[in-house]
Amino acid sequence: MKLNSGALVLSLCLLLAFLAGQPAAAGRGDGGKKDGDGGKKGGGDGGKKGGKKDVDVESTVRMIVAKAMEGKPRVGAALVRLLFHDCWVHGCDGSVLLDTVPYGSGSGEKDAENNIGLEGFEVIDDIKAELLRLADGYDNVSCADILVLAARQATAILSRGKIVYAVKRGRMDGVVSSAADADAVLPPSTFKIKQLKDNFKARGFNTRELVALSGAHAVGVAHLSSFVDRLNTATQSPISGAYQNALRSHTEAQKTAQGTNDPIEFNNIRDMDKQFQNAAGYVTTGVDVTANGVLDNSYYKANLQNRVLFRSDWELRNDTDTGANNAGNALDEFGDNAGKWFLAFGQAMAKLSDIPADGPRFEIRKNCRKIN
């Protein structure tokens, strides 16, 4: 029996929403169960198993992330970025959360050049502390799991419930954090298309998934140092002249306003004020310009207008491969059909959250910022 594409997308979204919304009981080593298939309490034991309290991890994460994001969508964007920067390095092991470097020498991942501007650590700390409190100090949820769940909840809120996906629990926390390791594998904003595709392929992600995950640039902010090459005539990749001029003027003003030579700007021109958009020649057709900080497909519409911050964004238009392996085809597809992008982004986030960790030793950290 054949289903049309709209019915299939709707069915998948409803199924994922059902799976993602169910409460899960905290448990060390749950055999890779997806959150949402647990939560049963032992009969008549007051919700305890072997003296250990069952804790509704899902509800706790939802509550704390939602509170942190109240009126501050930037926090949600930071959590989504934090997940990518964790899982891409040593797999999903919470190593990006470490303040200290327990093994080896040098700086931890937080100090990596490609990790400039990472935020959201306090939200993870708050979730960890609350889970410990609710479980009377029994530590049964890893920091890696907390980050995966927090990023998923942030995605749901940022997308106004349009992006939902199921994830597994049972990750352990790594004990190694290296700035050099992070800079060796995280793709910088200056990467060209072949470098981007090779980087994602090394992690098992195809071109369409690369383009889907790039859509996260619909939200959040970036430091000037990450896109200054786009403003320099000697290093710039093709960019709308009007957008470039508007951006150059705005960043100069923000140096004074923010008191730094490396100010931040919104990733998405949709989130800039009307005066900036007019000066940049931004065409708002098909874009909800009132949806500031919303995770939607407006990034693709801006990219097709060549009004994006990063060279790596523009490079998606510069792919010479043919067929399904062409980034430009996916760029057009997601720009034309928000529903397809919602589904593709959720699937790619679920896959990202499932990258296995590698390392010499694992534990469940009591403090996400340091090893036990």
299-350, pLDDT tens digit by residue? 999 999 999 999 999 999 989 888 778 999 999 999 999 999 999 999 999 9
Q: Which of 85, 90, 223, 250 is catalytic?
A: 85
The answer on 268 and 129 residing in a single domain is: no
The answer on 26 and 171 residing in a single domain is: yes
Q: How many domains does the chain have?
A: 2
Does any domain span residue 47?
no
pLDDT at residue 238, as a whole number: 85
**3-16 mean pLDDT:** 37
pLDDT at residue 71, as a whole number: 81
Q: Is 91 annotated as contributing to ligand binding?
A: yes
Q: Is 86 annotated as contributing to ligand binding?
A: yes
Give, in degrees to the nearest 5, the angle at Cα 113 between 149 and 293: 45
- What is the pTM (predicted TM-score) of this model? 0.84
| Per-residue burial over 206-218, b = 16 or more CB atoms within 10 Å of its CB, e = otherwise | ebbbbbbbbbbbb
pLDDT at residue 368, as a whole number: 96
The answer on 32 and 126 residing in a single domain is: yes
Give the range of the structural domain holding residue 200, as residue numbers without chain letter.
193-351
Q: Is 95 annotated as contributing to ligand binding?
A: yes
The answer on 57 and 25 residing in a single domain is: yes
Q: Is the pLDDT of residue 5 over 80?
A: no
Q: Is 223 annotated as catalytic?
A: no
The answer on 197 and 336 residing in a single domain is: yes
Q: What is the mean pLDDT of the chain?
A: 86
Query: How many CA atoms within 13 Å lie on the side-chain side of 136?
Result: 5
The answer on 214 and 291 residing in a single domain is: yes
The answer on 11 and 142 residing in a single domain is: yes
Contacts of 63 (CB under 8 A, 6+ apart): none
One-letter amino acid identity for 223? Answer: H
The answer on 236 and 152 residing in a single domain is: no
Does any domain span residue 121?
yes
The answer on 223 and 172 residing in a single domain is: no
The answer on 14 and 76 residing in a single domain is: yes
* Inter-residue contact 293 to 271 (CB < 8 Å): yes
The percent of residues above 90 in pLDDT, for the chain, comes to 74
The answer on 80 and 176 residing in a single domain is: yes
φ/ψ of residue 312, rounded to 5:
-60, -30
The answer on 308 and 272 residing in a single domain is: yes
* Inter-residue contact 346 to 280 (CB < 8 Å): no
Does any domain span residue 27?
yes
Does any domain span residue 126?
yes
Q: Is 183 annotated as contributing to ligand binding?
A: no
Q: Is 187 annotated as contributing to ligand binding?
A: yes
Does any domain span residue 46?
no
